[in-house]
A and B are shown apart, each in its own frame.
Chain A
Amino acid sequence: MQADIFAKKKRNTLAFLLLLGAVTILAMIITEYNALKGFASIPKAIQWGMANFYPTAESLEKLPVILEKLQETLLVSIAATTAAAVFALLFSIFGSNTTRVNAFFGAITRGIATVFRNIDVAAWALILLFSFGQSALTGYFALFFGSFGFLTRAFTETIDEVSGGSVEALKATGAGYFSIIFQSVIPSSIPQLISWILFMIETNIRSATLIGLLTGSGIGFTFNLYYKSLAYDTASLVVVVIIAAILLIEYASNYVRKVIL
């Protein structure tokens, strides 16, 4: 009997690997992708990058403009995340199994959040382009909607995980709904909630760059502008600045996490 289980597991693994291989090969045939050629072009790409894609002294003159755009992108990301977090907190409290008002209302709030979560930020940007055109507002709302969906889900799970016991205890003492939320749910989950918000800010700064390409705003647009006009040195400076900003933000949020957790 025991040997059968192991043999079966091995067969399953083998079947999975074969399937994976078949799908890969099929995909390569359909897209006419030549793996050898693909890998062979990597050195060439590096060579090109080394030759053209580095900041020069004259590109540094553009630095103030770039930093201004970077600042805009950072602020939009942070604003979108924090605003989304406020709504997500409300929705997660109404959607979480431990704190929901009733099952029906809980299902509705969770459903709304699921819809928002499953539409990607880039898709939101495309949808919103119709309403707001190419502006920072489009980017802001795209990030806001995407973060709202994700944070609601993350908050809901945090609340369920952290506060089930104390919610039960406070209910048993006869405490009211709002007392329970403010004295038990929020104090027990706040560090994790903040941690999720920080994570979302980091993610949003990265997405904001890409969304900027679509919406014609922020640092993403700046990059696109210089890149398309063949100013590779300035475009590379933009990349360096973005990477520096992301590392800095990550360092800062890791520090905050360490302090609060």
Chain B
Amino acid sequence: MTALLEVNHLTKQFGKDSKALTDVSFSVQEGEFVSIIGPSGAGKSTLLRCLNRMIDATGGEIRFQDLHVMDLKKKELKQVRTKIGMIFQHYNLVNRLSVIENTLHGILGTKSTLAGVIGYYSKEEKQQAAQILNVLGLNEMIYKRADQLSGGQKQRVGIARALIQNPRMLLCDEPIASLDPNSAKVIMDYLKKVTATMGITVIVNLHQVDVAIKYSDRIIGINKGQVVYNGSAKGLTSEDIQRIYGSEAEDLIFDIGGIHAG
């Protein structure tokens, strides 16, 4: 297996003295499902956004498919971004547009300026969008406006928009944090299933340790901008959790023993 993504000594500083990330290093193999966990404000979102340069890191190195992401020019960066899908906590859809239009937004990165401006999509592209929506169980919603959907359905449109990019990697920023437990499970199941069949690498920020353990191959634990755990999901012990979440770990609302037993 080769490393699809390699992060070396990544740091991010906001302002003068607030360090969001300190010397973060890890690598992600092709096809891996990696969860990043950690308390609120630990720097999970910042880390994820540094990977596709939605936020510019202050120092370090990011290699994606052997490209130095941080040195890329504007045009090359756009090209790299077309290979990386992103999914957001608040779905980030255009609410007034239909489901299929929102899905097709995923391929705007490959279009000429003119085609992008007038919103020209070929017949094949539309069929592909419809097919992806079908896989995600949204075939009856294709022409509905995004604001008529439930949270879980909106997130599935978000996934569809990322999948139509034909990405090598998916970055998911708290994809289930705004969803009820049922929809959250549906979303995680789809994410796992679709990315496994399409061979897409996934990095997902999560708040729920139990979900992270259940779905991921590997877990990266972050506390105060530093990697404090990087290992298999099965190997995560309660001491590790204590290290990731600090002293409050005792009060976490689930029982880790129960999870491993189940």
**Interface of A toward B, CB cutoff 8 Å:** 163, 165-166, 168-176, 178-184, 187-188, 190-191
A174 with B109: in contact, given A182-B116, A183-B119, A188-B96 (CB under 8 Å)? Answer: yes
A171 with B94: in contact, given A178-B113, A182-B119 (CB under 8 Å)? Answer: no
Q: Does B1 contact A (CB under 8 A)?
A: no
CB proximity of A4 to chain B, nearest CB, Å: 32
Q: Does B156 contact A (CB under 8 A)?
A: no
Most buried by B among A170, A178, A188: A170
A188 (CB) vs chain B CBs: closest residue: B94
| Other 4 A-B pairs with CB < 8 A, given A174-B80, A182-B118, A183-B108 | A174-B77, A174-B108, A179-B111, A183-B94
Q: Which residue in A169, A174, A179, A190 is a CB contact (below 8 Å) of B113?
A: A179
Interface pairs (6), CB distance under 8 Å: A166-B105, A171-B81, A174-B82, A175-B116, A176-B78, A183-B117
B108 proximity list for chain A (CB < 8 A): 170, 173-176, 179-180, 183
A188 proximity list for chain B (CB < 8 A): 94-96
A169 with B92: in contact, given A175-B105, A178-B113, A187-B97 (CB under 8 Å)? Answer: yes
Q: Which residue in B78, B97, B158 is a CB contact (below 8 Å) of A174?
A: B78
A191 with B117: in contact, given A165-B88, A172-B81, A174-B79 (CB under 8 Å)? Answer: no
Cβ contacts B239-255/A at 8 Å (1 or 0 each): 00000000000000000
CB proximity of A158 to chain B, nearest CB, Å: 13
Q: Does B43 contact A (CB under 8 A)?
A: no
Q: Does B106 contact A (CB under 8 A)?
A: yes
Specify the main secondary structure of chain A where it touches its partner. Answer: helix
Is B116 a contact of A169 with CB atoms below 8 Å?
no
**B interface residue count range (under 10 / 10 to 19 / 20 to 34 / 35 or more):** 35 or more
Q: Which residue in B84, B86, B111, B119 is a CB contact (below 8 Å) of A169?
A: B86
CB proximity of B94 to chain A, nearest CB, Å: 5
Inter-chain CA distance A163–B97, complex, in Å, is 12
B80 proximity list for chain A (CB < 8 A): 174
A177 (CB) vs chain B CBs: closest residue: B113
CB proximity of B167 to chain A, nearest CB, Å: 9
Is B94 a contact of A173 with CB atoms below 8 Å?
no
Is B117 a contact of A166 with CB atoms below 8 Å?
no
B97 (CB) vs chain A CBs: closest residue: A187
Is A173 a contact of B81 with CB atoms below 8 Å?
yes
Q: Does B218 contact A (CB under 8 A)?
A: no
Chain B residues 73-129 with CB under 8 Å of chain A are 77-82, 84-86, 88, 90-97, 105-111, 113, 116-119
CB proximity of B165 to chain A, nearest CB, Å: 6
B84 proximity list for chain A (CB < 8 A): 172
Is A173 a contact of B161 with CB atoms below 8 Å?
yes
B110 proximity list for chain A (CB < 8 A): 174
A187 with B92: in contact, given A175-B116, A176-B108 (CB under 8 Å)? Answer: no
Chain B residues 159-188 with CB under 8 Å of chain A are 161-162, 165, 171
Is A165 a contact of B96 with CB atoms below 8 Å?
no
Inter-chain CA distance A171–B161, complex, in Å, is 13
Is B81 a contact of A166 with CB atoms below 8 Å?
no
